Amino acid sequence: METTKEGLESELHQELMSQLSVADQAEMDNLNDEIKRLTAENKAAFSNRLKFEKEKNKLENLLENNLRRRHEELVRALQEISVEERKRTLVNSRQELKGIEERMTLLRNELKTLDKKVSDAMKKQKMAQEELESYRKKEREAQEKLETDTKDLSKVSSKQAMYRQKMEECRTKIHDLGTMPSNDMTNKYMAYSQKNLFKELENANSHLKKFSHVNKKALDQFLSFSEQKDKLMQRKEELDRGDDKIKELMVALEQQKCEAIQNTFRQVAKFFSEVFKKLVPGGSADLVLKARDGSYMGNANLMDQDSSNYAGVAIKVMFTDQGEMREMNALSGGQKSLVALAFIFAIQKCDPAPFYLFDEIDQALDAHHRKAVANMIHEMSKHAQFITTTFRPELLQHANKFYGVMFRNRVSHVECVTREQAYDFVEDDTTHA
């Protein structure tokens, strides 16, 4: 029941707030904010007061339990010792007593300061409490005004609903009368007497009996269909304009797609040629686009092509400074591996990735090409991380971290090893192979 009550009160408060004017809502929000602020200040002042009282009690306990007890102990000790010792002890005790009195003076001053702070905090708390009560009073007055305005609004809403119902009844009666005559027809019968009007009405009813089977709502239907036609024609024009804009957007997107493909292809082709020359100093490589008819597209006529004409990419390479360009299907396994690595490095220069994972990429390469690949990975490791597995020593030359995979008790183990251990590992594996 309590939960239901709180929910209903919350809904009532929300409905009342939604019916307030903008100025009343702003004033209500300001009052709530001020109440929250004063409540927070009251809590802070109360907390400071407790803290100061706690510190005051602590100092009083120190004064009562320690300093005065020490003073009494010194007095008793003076009574038990000899005259000379009493003199020496008296001097020391006086000095110590002087220090204690000075400390007691400081503590009393601190107590006075704390008393003043506590008093000030209590005054602030009292002022904040009074101000809080003032704002709470304003809130109650605003709540009472809100309830009064809500009652007035409820009465106005009831009258408005009643007038709307009457208006709907009048509209229904007007609709039942059918299509209203024009103003010219109305002005024509304004000068007729009531007797003549009834006579004209009788003649009109007699004439209408001849048309008893005519659709009396045909004019209404015609007007309704004409209005629907105008709306549909307007909707068609809007759809036609939307269709034109969509077609323009499709053309623009197609152009952007073609430009993106062409720009990406040019960059990758450029980097591919550069990387391949570094891997194979005496060779050369080209990256070309293939059309759907099987022909190759040059860089000169790329701008005239549609993206739908692109079928793929072909690679032509030459590993010596003499000879003819060959495609991928005419290359050996090691040459294909080298071309694939050059293509991957070219893409890395164009669109860098954070890291690469290579698994025995140098397996089919000879020592010269393995060294070239290792140098290229070292060059590109400034902008990306490369993780490789290998059984050859060339890739170990520039590595920063080494891991060895060992098989013990039918279980593989991965352990971090030194550079020398890594070289021994690959050399031992090469010897056994």
At 408, is the secondary structure helix, strand, or coil? Answer: strand
Would you say residue 205 has pLDDT above 50? yes
pLDDT of residue 401: 92
pLDDT of residue 167: 84
Average pLDDT of the segment spanning 421-428: 80
Angle 83-177/22-62 helices, nearest 10 degrees? 170
Per-residue pLDDT tens for 257-273? 888 888 888 888 898 88
Per-residue pLDDT tens for 361-406? 888 888 888 899 999 999 888 888 999 998 888 988 889 999 988 8
Q: H or E element: which one contains 403? A: strand 402-408
Average pLDDT of the segment spanning 223-247: 89
Angle at 370 between CA 367 and CA 373, to 5 degrees: 155
Average pLDDT of the segment spanning 253-258: 84
- Integer angstrom CA distances of residue 373 from 86, 229, 302: 96, 73, 32
Q: How many helices (H) and strands (E) does the chain have?
A: 10, 8
179 falls in which pLDDT band (50, 70, 90)? low
Would you say residue 1 has pLDDT above 60? no
Helix/strand/coil (H, E, C) string of 324-346? CCEEHHHCCHHHHHHHHHHHHHH
At 361, is the secondary structure helix, strand, or coil? Answer: coil
Per-residue pLDDT tens for 131-153? 888 888 888 888 888 888 888 88
Per-residue pLDDT tens for 4-36? 545 545 554 555 555 567 777 777 778 778 788
CA distance 212 to 421: 112
pLDDT of residue 386: 92
pLDDT of residue 432: 43
| 406 bridge partner residues | 413
pLDDT of residue 216: 65
> pLDDT over 90 for what percent of the chain?
5
CA distance 410 to 229: 83
Average pLDDT of the segment spanning 291-302: 63
Average pLDDT of the segment spanning 170-195: 68
CB 285, CB 317: distance < 8 Å:
yes
- Closest residue by Cα to residue 391 from 357, 362, 355, 356: 362
Characterise 231 by phi-psi region: left (phi > 0), alpha (psi -120 to 50), beta (else). alpha
Which residue shows structure tokens 């609709």?
Answer: 175
CA distance 90 to 102: 17
3-state helix, strand, coil in the chain (%, to 5): 70, 10, 15
What DSSP letter does each residue of 14-28 carry, written as one string? HHHHHHS-HHHHHHH
pLDDT of residue 17: 54
- Closest residue by Cα to residue 346 from 286, 261, 257, 258: 286
CB 377, CB 306: distance < 8 Å:
no
Residue 95 CA from chain centroid, whole number:
70
CA distance 297 to 302: 7
Would you say residue 220 has pLDDT above 60? yes
At 191, is the secondary structure helix, strand, or coil? Answer: coil
More confident residue, 233 or 325: 233
CB 320, CB 282: distance < 8 Å:
yes
Average pLDDT of the segment spanning 346-370: 88
Per-residue pLDDT tens for 72-105? 777 776 666 656 666 777 777 778 778 878 888 8
| 388 bridge partner residues | 358
CA distance 183 to 260: 67
- Integer angstrom CA distances of residue 361 from 344, 381, 383: 12, 16, 20
Would you say residue 314 has pLDDT above 80? yes
Residue 377 one-letter amino acid: I
Average pLDDT of the segment spanning 206-211: 74
